[in-house]
Amino acid sequence: MIEINNLNFGYSKHKPLFKNMSMRLSNGHIYGLLGKNGAGKSTLLKNLAGLVYPQGGQLDVMGFNPTKRQPALLSQICFIPEEFYLPPVKIDSYLKANAPFYPNFDHQYLATLLKEFDIPASNKLIDMSYGQKKKFIIAFGLATQARLVIMDEPTNGLDIPSKAQFRKIMASALTDERCIIISTHQVRDLDNLIDTVIMLDENDVALKASVEEITTKLTFKKVKEIDESIFYAEPSLSGYNAVMPNYHHEESKLDMELLFNAILAEKTKFKPLFS
Amino acid sequence: MEFNNNKAIYLQIAEYICEQILLGKWKTEEKIPSVREMAVTLEVNPNTVMRTYELLQTKNILNNKRGIGFFLSDNTIDQVKQYRKTSFMENELPNLFRNLYLLEIDFDELKSQYQTFVTQNFND
């Protein structure tokens, strides 16, 4: 689906964001893109969608080069940015102007999604709250039936019931033909939805591994005391939440926040396990 | 469904399904929820549910009829009990034993408590 080879990119010459980054993404997965503020999550997504151009290396998205912005590719990409603009029109005129760009646009599915998100179809886009607008562009994006779905912080601004609704909608939106990439800081909103973790740090991919691979190699558990086998630990009420190599083939639940902090703090310990 | 303990999500889903079977909520001849339906209900990645269904297939609890969907196997209740029993013995019993030992609880006391529990919860 996506192949990134030696990607180089930076907004200024002195501050490269990506140095020779390579990665391959395939269909049938929900990738969770994690990284500190400024690590380049949004920038990577923009590179994939042809919104910014690489300074070096190759990008292949469904057989296309995204920098060429060919309609055949763009009609297969649903991009939900973190910040967005919606014009002061009603939903139906927005659809009339924008849906024709997507040959597989499914109006019935859109109606279902808007109903699930509790948005009246007669609404004027400009009169809606931030959360409602966000839900509208998510619904529109999924109704395009695009094969590549890119979402930048999709749960920001969603209320509690909408977050649950969002998880249900995404669980049903994943098909074998689709690739879904979600960047997020709100890992607790989405951790059961993500099957593969991509973590960006220090101009490169710090980790790309499926939840299954991570929990085969590492175990996440509460311990009373810290010993040398532990890679990283954070104090908790009843001892420590710890990450360590999975010596005893335990099947623990991935704690994504703990993993994130662990990799930032102890990168060199994890590298040999995931190369 | 709340995922709260430290066990892998796909195993927690397996336990949930076993519970549905033991409680008689799913019948042998009926098709069980598809991977997608289950993923939507539980708000989890369909690949995780697929992993659960594959596990339960290897334990002879589920059958995959190609093109139709997943069904319970004929002797599913026995298989579920066996699977749950092994998992209980391996994962929960050591913890229970540890507490029995530390708190010096003897087996006679435990037995009478157990019988009271069974009468209160299951004999109606």
Distance between CA atoms of residues A253 and A218, nearest Å:
10
- Is A103 within a domain? yes
pLDDT band at B91 (very low <50, low <70, confident <90, very high): confident
Segment A147-186, tens digit of pLDDT: 999 999 999 988 899 999 999 999 999 999 999 999 998 8
What's the confidence (pLDDT) of residue B121?
86
Check CB contact under 8 Å for A171 and B43: yes
CATH number of the structural domain spanning residue A21: 3.40.50.300
Sheet holding A2-9, edge to edge: A18-25, A2-9, A56-61
Query: Is residue A189 within 8 Å of residue A220, measured between CB atoms?
Result: no
State which residues form the domain around A240.
Answer: 211-274
Radius of gyration over alpha carbons of chain A, in Å? 20
pLDDT band at B1 (very low <50, low <70, confident <90, very high): low
The values of phi and psi at residue A139, to 5°, are -65, -45
Q: Quote the pTM value.
A: 0.88
Both tokens assigned to A168: 């249900």
**B interface mutation test: which of A142, A166, A253 has the most B CBs within 10 A?**
A253
* A161 at interface of B, judged by CB pairs closer than 8 A: no
Query: Is residue A28 within 8 Å of residue A175, measured between CB atoms?
Result: yes
Q: Which residue from A237, A28, A51, A16 is spatially nearest to A147, judged by alpha carbons?
A: A28
Distance between CA atoms of residues A34 and A206, nearest Å:
10
Distance between CA atoms of residues B1 and A210, nearest Å:
23
What's the confidence (pLDDT) of residue A97?
94
**Complete domains list, chain B, with CATH:** 9-76 (1.10.10.10), 82-122 (no CATH)
Check CB contact under 8 Å for B43 and A221: no
- Chain A nearest-CA distance from B35, in A, is 10
Distance between CA atoms of residues B123 and B4, nearest Å:
30
Segment A15-63, tens digit of pLDDT: 899 999 999 999 999 999 999 998 999 999 999 999 999 999 999 999 9
pLDDT band at B49 (very low <50, low <70, confident <90, very high): very high
Q: State the total domains in chain A.
A: 2
- Is A247 within a domain? yes
Check CB contact under 8 Å for A164 and B51: no
* A31 at interface of B, judged by CB pairs closer than 8 A: no
- Is A206 within a domain? no
Segment A192-213, tens digit of pLDDT: 999 999 999 999 999 999 999 9
My answer on whether A145 and A92 are in the same domain is: yes
Check CB contact under 8 Å for B43 and A172: no
What's the confidence (pLDDT) of residue B36?
94
Residue A252 has pLDDT above 80, yes or no: yes
pLDDT band at A275 (very low <50, low <70, confident <90, very high): confident
My answer on whether A175 and A122 are in the same domain is: yes
Mean pLDDT over each residue of chain A, to the nearest integer: 92
What's the confidence (pLDDT) of residue B124?
58
Both tokens assigned to B79: 């298989």
Helix boundaries (H) for A55-199: 71-74, 91-98, 107-116, 130-143, 160-173, 187-190
My answer on whether A191 and A220 are in the same domain is: no
My answer on whether A96 and A52 are in the same domain is: yes
Check CB contact under 8 Å for B36 and A172: yes
Residue B2 has pLDDT above 70, yes or no: no
My answer on whether A9 and A89 are in the same domain is: yes
Helix (H, G, I), strand (E, B) or coil at A238: coil
Nearest to A164 among B6, B7, B43 (CB): B43
